[in-house]
C-alpha cells in the first residue's frame, strides 16, 4: 500500500538514523508552501495533506514511526 494524495509529488518509506536509534519514516514531498506566514500558504490544502499522511502513518504503525514532510521548490 503506497501513500497517494493530490498534493504529494512523491512519497516513500525510508529508515533514518538518529541519536536515539533507527526511525522508520514516511517521507512526503509537496509543492505546497508549508510556512504558515508565507503569502502563498494554503492552510486548508496543507492540513488536508498532513491529515492524510498522519492517517496513513496510523494505519501502518507496525512499520512506520514518523512523518517527514518536505516543501519542494524548482530551481532554475
> What does the pLDDT read at residue 1?
66
Contacting residues for 68 by C-beta, under 8 A, at least 6 apart: 16, 25, 26, 27, 28
Domain residue ranges in the chain = 10-71
Total-model pTM = 0.90
**Tens digit of each residue's pLDDT, the chain (76 residues):** 699 999 999 999 999 999 999 999 999 999 999 999 999 999 999 999 999 999 999 999 999 999 999 999 888 7
Contacting residues for 69 by C-beta, under 8 A, at least 6 apart: 28, 30, 34, 49, 50, 53
> What does the pLDDT read at residue 28?
98
Amino acid at each position: 500500500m503506497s501513500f497517494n494524495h493530490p498534493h504529494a509529488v512523491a512519497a516513500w518509506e525510508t529508515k533514518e538514523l538518529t541519536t536515539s536509534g533507527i526511525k522508520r519514516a514516511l517521507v512526503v514531498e509537496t509543492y505546497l508552501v508549508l510556512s504558515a506566514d508565507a503569502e502563498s500558504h494554503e492552510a486548508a490544502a496543507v492540513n488536508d495533506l498532513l491529515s492524510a499522511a498522519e492517517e496513513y502513518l496510523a494505519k501502518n504503525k507496525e512499520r512506520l514511526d514518523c512523518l517527514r514532510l518536505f516543501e519542494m521548490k524548482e530551481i532554475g
